[in-house]
Amino acid sequence: MNKTNLLVNKLKTSNIDFKVDHTTNSKVMINSFPFEFDVNVQNGKVDVQSRIKGWNFVTDFMSLPFEKTLGYLLLKQIGFTLLFFVFMSWAKSNQIYTIVILIMFVFTITAQYMYYMNYRKKHKDFKNNIEKWINENEF
């Protein structure tokens, strides 16, 4: 039995949304919120590419390769920090605004990193499952 067929059979039993490229019969596209996996099985090699879908709490409206998501979060954090210091210099006279904005800033950044860690765990588990399903019946 072909590796692509093994993967398709496992996906059918697990009720996960997927599509198969029937022209080459070697590519499977898997949609599992918040990820999209492209599994390419050719010449005995398995290549798993993953993207995190747009419109989520971590990447906002952008769809990114999952490996670049942490870099995006760091850039966003630097931008928020710069905005916070600009706002803090503007609102020197009223400390209450500064404290409220600081609390919102810390909460937002913490929540985004917690979501990222959750997505990272789900990503690793799902990717390991895909590789296990494909290599399950090898001798």
How far is the C-alpha of 25 from the C-alpha of 14, rounded, in Å?
20
Q: Which amino acid is at 109?
A: I
Q: Are 28 and 16 a contacting pair, CB within 8 Å?
A: no
Q: Are 32 and 16 a contacting pair, CB within 8 Å?
A: yes
Q: Look at residues 126, 94, 109, 132 and name the one whose alpha carbon lies nearest to residue 18.
A: 126
Q: What single DSSP character describes residue 68?
A: G
* Residue 107 pLDDT: 95
pTM of the model: 0.81
Q: Give per-10-residue mean pLDDT for the chain (139 aa).
A: 79 82 79 87 83 88 92 93 84 78 90 95 90 73
What sign has the CA pseudo-torsion 122, 76, 78, 114? negative
* Residue 50 pLDDT: 92
- Which three-class secondary structure state does DSSP give residue 43? coil
* Residue 19 pLDDT: 82
What ranges do the domains of the chain cover?
3-135
* Residue 25 pLDDT: 74
* Residue 7 pLDDT: 83
